[in-house]
Each structure stands twice: as C-alpha cells, then as structure tokens.
C-alpha cells in the first residue's frame, strides 16, 4: 500500500515536471502559471481589467501571462504601447491563429487576417472603395444625416417620457455601414437586422468569455456539445446571411457599374481571376463580416455611452448645445467641417470615447520575428495584448484620468487638443480601418441630436451605473433614456 502511494506521488511529480510551464529566456516577468490552465485562475473571467491593473502594479508595464500553455505579453501605458505598435509596427503586426475568434474568421478578411500581401491588398481595397463611396466627403455626410433622421423619429415618439436605447444606436450604426457595403438599409423593426444585431452583441461577449478560453486551452473538448458550440452556431448564422446577400447581389449586378463595396469586390474578382489573386468569394464573405461587425458595435456602444454621460452631466450637455446653436444658427444640418468651430463638442465626443473604452484590449497581436521590447526578448509568434484601457486612463497623461471631463481635451484657452494617449482605435499599421467613418458618425449624430433633444435622467431610471460589461467590445449596462424636445422647452 505504502509503495503504491509513493509510486503515485512519484508519477504525479514527474507529470508536473513535464507539464509545468517554463518562461523563455529573458522573457517579461509575471505570475507563476499552472500546468494546462496557465494563469487563467488569476483573472476574473467576467472582467479581467482590474486584475491586469493589479499585475501591472506588481510586475511593471510589460509583463507576461500564460493562456493555457501559450505565453502572452501584456503592454501597459502609452510609452510601451507606442514602442511596440508604432516604432516597431511590422514586428508586432501579426495576429494569433489559435483563438476561437481566429478560427471563426479563418484568419481571413482584414481585422484578424495574417500579416502579409493578402491583408495589405484587402485593406487597400477596403480603404479605396470606402472613399469612392463617400468616406470623408459630403455624400457620406448626407448618408449619415439621412440615417439620423430615423433616430430623431424614434426619439420624438418617446418625447416627454423615456425609452430603452439598447438597440437604437446599433440599428443606426448598422444601417450606415450596410448602406456602404450592401447598398441598402433596414427598417428599425426588420427582424433580419434585429436578429443580426442580437447575434453580434452575443458574439462580442461570448467569444472572449470563459468557454472560449476552454476552447483554446483544451482542444480535446472541441467536438463535445459544450456552450462554445453556440458561439460557432451564431457566427455561422451571420455568415449564411451574408452569403444570401452576396447571391442576391450577383443576380442584380451590372458589371462595371458598382452600387456598393460588395459590387466593387465582385468586379475585383473578375479583374484578378487569372492572376493567382486572393480576391475570391471566401475572402469576400469574411471582409463583409469584418466591416459589418466593426462598423456596428463600437460606434453604437460609444453613442450609448455618450447619452448616458450627457444625461448625468447637464452642464456639459448645456454647453455643447450653446456651442452648436451658435455655430449652426439657421442652417438645417451640420457638416463634419463644423467640428473645427466646435472645440467643446469635439472635446466632449473624444472624452466619451475615452471613458467608453470600447475595445479595452484592442485586437491581439503576435510578433512576426524575434524582437526586443525594453530589455526583454520576445520570440517570434508571441501573443501581444495591448492594454489600451491602461493608456486611456493613464495617470500623468490626463488632467482627470478617472472621471468624465471634456477638459481633458481642452488647453488653457479652450482650444481642442488631442493628447498622444488618445488611442481608442489602437495605433500603427493595424490601426482601426473604420476610424474616419466612426469620427464622422459620432460628430454628426451627436450634434444633430443635441440640437433637437435634451437628454435627462428619467424618474424611473434608478441610480446611474457607469460600470461596463466587458467583452471583445465593452458596453454600458442597460439604462433608460429620458427625452425632451428642445422646441417644447423654448415654447
């Protein structure tokens, strides 16, 4: 009996010795990982940001974690993030291939595509085509303002009372990107778009949750009917819907007369069919999914965050309203160029983006070669997590790092300034493709709404809760939006 116990202990120690995780030489420090699980038990699966802050205080702005048996390096603070993503952009331009979200997108499209010629070609194509259809031009402003008119109709129906804005801004942002890539918009009660948005909201939370972690660190579990199968199912539903739109477009398309980005992509397939190009139906579906998802969730969550902060900071809302009315006077609509004459509105919008912290950990990178960061060595293929949240709230970079205050973006004479630490879209060669569109949407939507409505905290709203729901994109918890018409206040 005693011999059996000794033998069991011996084999247990032997198993631990062979499965324990060893950091590479001169690798960033971090907490001791467990076999198989790595450091996952040391991170809150609901929201790991506070744990990352705790580890940063202990190990410094560059530290390592193990997600299962794979090492990851977490970058904190402006100096480190810029050194990696900007100064050494090409060395950090890779994307992980082992994550659940990577498997969903098959490393295609733009956001999660591997760094290389296919990614460069598709990114160039997307930027060129979006500009062709008005990005940065008056025609794009008109497209956005047309969509804002539908928001106003919805808000007017709730004037004098309150509403749940949970899906309102998702529908708005989704329709704007859909008009660019598919050439169509959806009515706000259309079950197709409502289902797509619901799937999108669920995916951005679940694809970075505990079950996604298990999918990544214990591959033998993947065939079993566990909750991560639901994530795969929801993604496939979205993919099938995109395929139906593609089929519909092909049947009504006139070659050489593109109506939208999808038609342009089909033309590009025809042009490069015999040249070994990566432009094909498979890549097209993932590119369209990329643009739809990226163009919907981040902007809509920022708009929801904006109305929450404006409701609870009436002095900020009143100052924005005065600036808007002074600049626009009798004009029917705002123009994106008006932002230069509205420093306080600009400051408010940027402060909302900072506080909404929509993509707190950015999109994960990997090193494309052996590289050095500070005094540490990072082998090729190391996963790198840029903690953008740490930059957006970094003490020493902001006047008021932990509170909502547009003064963070104003100098001593009231002029708008944008600090280097404003990185909600990340930085470097893989900076967010939709930054230009998002900036235009946020300005035109918020200026138009603040001109027509006052947002107030409703009597049935309970106590304001500014805590965020963590995920691939963060969002505010559900809340009620109180709506008053400005015209009725003047009357």
CA distances from 323 to 152, 253, 273, 442 (A): 20, 46, 53, 16
What range defines the domain where residue 430 resides? 29-490
Q: What domain count does the chain have?
A: 1
Q: Is residue 280 part of a domain?
A: yes
User: Which residue in 143, 177, 181 sits closest to 261, CA to CA?
Assistant: 181
Strands 162-163 and 481-485: antiparallel
When comparing pLDDT for 294 and 441, which is higher? 441
Give yes or no for a contact between 48 and 358, defined as CB atoms under 8 angstroms apart.
no
Strands 371-373 and 376-378: antiparallel
Q: Is residue 22 part of a domain?
A: no
**From CA 78, how far away is CA 86, in angstroms rounded?**
11
Q: Helix and strand tally (H, E) in the chain?
A: 17, 11
On the question of pLDDT at 200 being above 90, the answer is no
pLDDT tens-digit readout, 34-65: 998 999 999 998 899 999 999 999 999 999 99
Contacts of 34 (CB under 8 A, 6+ apart): 21, 41
At 205, which CATH number? 1.10.630.10
CA distances from 278 to 98, 153, 239 (A): 22, 43, 19
Which strand (E) or helix (H) includes residue 116? Answer: none
Q: Is residue 9 part of a domain?
A: no
Q: Is residue 3 part of a domain?
A: no
On the question of pLDDT at 18 being above 60, the answer is no
Q: Is residue 12 part of a domain?
A: no
DSSP E strand boundaries for 159-261? 162-163
**From CA 153, how far away is CA 403, in angstroms rounded?**
32
On the question of pLDDT at 3 being above 50, the answer is no
Give yes or no for a contact between 136 and 444, defined as CB atoms under 8 angstroms apart.
no
Q: Is residue 328 part of a domain?
A: yes
Q: Is residue 353 part of a domain?
A: yes
Report the percentage of the chain scoring pLDDT > 70: 95
Question: What average pLDDT score do residues 371-376 get?
Answer: 93
Contacts of 433 (CB under 8 A, 6+ apart): 110, 111, 123, 126, 127, 291, 294
Confidence of residue 489 (pLDDT cuts 50, 70, 90): low
**386 phi and psi angles, rounded to 5 deg:** -80, 110
Task: Please provide the average confidence, as pLDDT, over all residues in the chain.
Answer: 90
Question: What average pLDDT score do residues 250-257 get?
Answer: 88
- DSSP state, residue 93: -
pLDDT tens-digit readout, 152-167: 999 999 999 999 998 8
Q: Is residue 275 part of a domain?
A: yes
- Two structure tokens written together for 477: 């918890």
Q: Which residues pair with 376 in a beta bridge?
A: 373
Give yes or no for a contact between 384 and 84, defined as CB atoms under 8 angstroms apart.
yes
């Amino acid at each position: 009996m005693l011999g059996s116990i000794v033998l069991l202990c011996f084999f247990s120690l032997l198993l631990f010795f062979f499965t324990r995780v060893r950091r590479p030489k001169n690798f960033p420090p971090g907490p001791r990982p467990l076999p198989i699980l790595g450091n996952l038990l040391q991170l809150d699966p609901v929201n790991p940001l506070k744990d990352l802050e705790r580890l940063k205080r202990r190990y410094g702005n560059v530290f390592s974690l193990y997600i299962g048996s794979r090492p990851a390096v977490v970058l904190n603070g402006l100096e480190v993030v810029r050194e990696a993503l900007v100064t050494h952009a090409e060395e950090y331009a890779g994307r992980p291939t082992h994550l659940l979200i990577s498997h969903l997108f098959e490393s295609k499209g733009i956001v999660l595509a591997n760094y290389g010629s296919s990614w460069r070609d598709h990114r160039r194509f997307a930027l060129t085509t979006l500009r062709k259809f008005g990005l940065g031009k008056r025609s794009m402003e008109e497209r956005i303002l047309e969509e804002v008119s539908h928001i106003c109709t919805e808000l007017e129906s709730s004037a004098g009372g309150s509403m749940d804005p949970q899906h309102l801004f998702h529908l708005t942002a989704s329709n704007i990107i859909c008009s660019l890539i598919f050439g169509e918009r959806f009515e706000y009660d259309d079950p197709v778009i409502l289902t797509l948005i619901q799937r999108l909201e669920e995916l951005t939370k679940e694809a970075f949750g505990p079950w996604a972690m298990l999918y990544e660190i214990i591959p033998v579990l993947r065939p079993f009917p566990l909750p991560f199968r639901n994530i795969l199912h929801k993604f496939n539903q979205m993919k099938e819907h995109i395929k139906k739109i593609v089929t519909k477009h092909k049947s009504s398309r006139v070659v050489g007369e593109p109506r939208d980005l999808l038609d342009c992509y089909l033309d590009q397939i025809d042009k490069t069919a015999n040249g070994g190009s990566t432009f094909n139906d498979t890549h097209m579906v993932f590119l369209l999914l990329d643009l739809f998802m990226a163009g919907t969730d981040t902007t809509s969550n920022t708009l929801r965050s904006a109305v929450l902060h404006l409701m609870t900071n009436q002095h900020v809302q009143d100052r924005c309203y005065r600036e808007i009315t002074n600049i626009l006077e009798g004009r029917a609509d705002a123009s994106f160029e008006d932002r230069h004459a509205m420093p306080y509105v600009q400051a408010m919008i940027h402060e909302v983006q900072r506080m909404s912290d929509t993509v707190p950990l950015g999109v994960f990178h990997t090193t494309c070669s052996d590289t050095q960061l500070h005094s540490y060595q990072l082998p090729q293929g190391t996963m790198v997590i840029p903690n953008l949240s740490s930059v957006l709230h970094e003490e020493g970079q902001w006047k008021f790092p932990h509170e909502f205050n547009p003064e963070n973006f104003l100098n001593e004479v009231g002029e708008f300034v944008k600090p280097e630490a404003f990185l909600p879209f990340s930085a470097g060669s893989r900076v967010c493709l939709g930054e230009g569109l998002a900036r235009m949407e946020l300005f035109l939507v918020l200026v138009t709404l603040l001109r027509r409505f006052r947002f107030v905290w409703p009597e049935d709203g309970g106590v304001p809760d500014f805590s965020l729901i963590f995920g691939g994109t963060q969002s505010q918890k559900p809340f009620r939006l109180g709506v008053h018409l400005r015209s009725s206040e003047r009357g």
